Chain A
Amino acid sequence: MYAQLVETGAKRLKTLEEMSPEEREFQEKIDAETKIEPKNWMPEGYRKTLVRQISQHAHSEVVGMLPEGNWVTRAPTLKRKLQLMAKIQDEAGHGLYLYSAMETLGADRDEEIEKLHQGKAKYSSIFNYPTLNWADMGAVGWLVDGAAIVNQVVLQRTSYGPYSRAMVRICKEESFHQRQGYQILLDMMREGTDEQKAMVQDAINRLWWPALMMFGPHDDESPNSQQSMAWKIKRKSNDELRQMFIDQTVPQLEFLGCTAPDPDLKWNEETGHYDFGDINWQEFYDVLKGNGPCNRERIKTRKNAIDEGAWVREAAVAYAKKQKQRAQAA
């Protein structure tokens, strides 16, 4: 979801008998729910898959600040502006927790960020959509962070210790994000003008399907899904998570007095879940490939931030050196 389509390098799953003694011991640890820590032996494929997944997740947090940054100067009240800034600061923090977790695997932060800028690393498809009106801030908090929570709550049990601990910390902070988003929409629906109410429905219409796409395509029998599940990097299938999200979100949607842009969305008494229409996966793959409405702008903004901030980082190093020399001289 924040990490979509993560390559594991697996062609098929090895059986316990086919594994080397080290691999077998590792798999048995995973099966016994023992967390893997940075200094433990791990298969190279496990390490690489985690670096890919955690870096994608971190990039998503960082790029995720941009659609919201668009509204900091335009928030309708000081209260909303402060809330939005606090949320954006949290996203930066989440990115940092995740980059730190990734570094415990021997990956270099600068190199991984460079891969993002070169278009070699992915981030969540959702952040390539524009935020066009103020209600989008509400819908992003409610739907996008809501979808993220469903995914991240499960990831708290992921097998790699530092990733799991970062998730615990992130989950604690996310519920503020979702609640503040929903409250924005609720206020607009309760106290807003007809035009403002229409904005809410418009935001939901545009973000509903992209939010459902966040969970990624159907899990097929691909070795990637199977390997990630066997290593317990992933704990639930994309379809299971998407269904959980829909089931919990539809009643909230109805409470708002809004509708989803899906004529097939309806409660199924038999299954005890909501049925929903087909997702346009072509759109998902197009956005992931770099052809969403905002892909180029997002990467350009990120690159500019790093390039134009270079002098600040250099100055900090020069200052630290000078301070050290002074301390030694004294």
Chain B
Amino acid sequence: MSEWRLYEVFVRSKHGLNHKHVGSVHASDAEMAMENARDLYTRRNEGVSIWVVPSDTITASASDEKEVLFDPSEDKIYRHASFYELPDEVGHM
């Protein structure tokens, strides 16, 4: 099976939700990847839509680099709504 390409599988579980990564399958082409993904990941109505993506086309951040990569957003607390304190009289905003 090594000669078969590896595909990552994403399933939308319900209309209105995002596709979510569920795992991977080997297949000789995208069409087979789709069928294998259906058989493997949606045997019990787990999805309404499937994406299959060749694994080698995904660019991923290394989880060890988490701090470096996400550092720029860490000290910008003013980006959160909770940073802005309003008097109670204003009510819910």
Q: Within 8 Å of chain B (Cβ to Cβ): is A320?
A: yes
Given contacts A317-B28, A320-B28, A320-B32, contact A40 B63 (CB under 8 A): yes
Q: Within 8 Å of chain A (Cβ to Cβ): is B64?
A: yes
Cβ B63 vs Cβ A109 within 8 A: no
Interface size, B (range) = 20 to 34
Find residues 51-68 in chain B having any chain A CB closer than 8 Å to their own CB. Answer: 60, 62-64
B32: nearest residue on chain A (CB-CB)? Answer: A316
Interface size, A (range) = 20 to 34
Cβ B23 vs Cβ A100 within 8 A: yes
Candidates B26, B29, B40, B62; contact of A320 at CB < 8 Å: B29
Given contacts A90-B43, A317-B28, contact A110 B1 (CB under 8 A): yes
Candidates A89, A166, A313; contact of B1 at CB < 8 Å: A313
Q: Within 8 Å of chain A (Cβ to Cβ): is B25?
A: yes
Interface residues of A: mostly helix, strand, loop or mixed?
A: helix
Please, how many angstroms separate the alpha-carbon atoms of A96 and B27 in the complex? 13
Using a CB–CB cutoff of 8 Å, the interface residues on chain A facing chain B are 37, 39-41, 86, 89-90, 93, 96-97, 100, 103, 108-110, 166, 169, 173, 313, 316-317, 319-320, 323-324
15 contacts between A and B (CB under 8 A): A37-B63, A39-B60, A39-B63, A96-B40, A97-B23, A97-B40, A100-B23, A100-B24, A108-B2, A109-B26, A110-B1, A166-B23, A316-B4, A316-B28, A320-B29
Across the A-B interface, give the 9 residue pairs with the lowest CB-CB distance, nearest first. Answer: A320-B29, A316-B28, A320-B28, A39-B62, A100-B24, A37-B63, A317-B28, A110-B2, A93-B40
